[in-house]
Amino acid sequence: MVATKVNACSVATCAYNANDTCHALAITVGEPSPTNCATFTPRQGNQSAGSRMTVANVGACKAASCKHNKMLECTKAEINIGMTGSSVTCLSYEKA
């Protein structure tokens, strides 16, 4: 299985985000709610995280209610992360 790429992240306040690209090694989706990005880390001042050489993949998906979740792994080729209300979420979530 090929890891699911985080195609874009529009959450400018995340320490891992630079130019709408997530630079975490891998993210976890599904905590505390099925669509939340559990890896979201608020930026403190000019703080940044992750290597700019890295483009994130989905390491784990705990969203059992998503049709793309198979054995805690995402089966989509790529996903997008963004804001839904005040929550950082997987915008590619589709209810099973």
Domain ranges of the chain: 5-90
Q: What is the pLDDT of residue 74?
A: 96
Answer yes or no: is pLDDT of 1 > 80. Answer: no
Give the pLDDT of residue 45: 85
**67 pairs with which residues across the strands?**
none
| 77 neighbors 3 (Cβ within 8 angstroms) | no
Weakest mean pLDDT among 2-11, 13-22, 43-52, 83-92 = 43-52
By C-alpha distance, which of 41, 36, 3 is closest to 22?
A: 41
pLDDT for 22-58, tens place per residue? 999 999 999 889 899 999 999 988 888 988 889 999 9
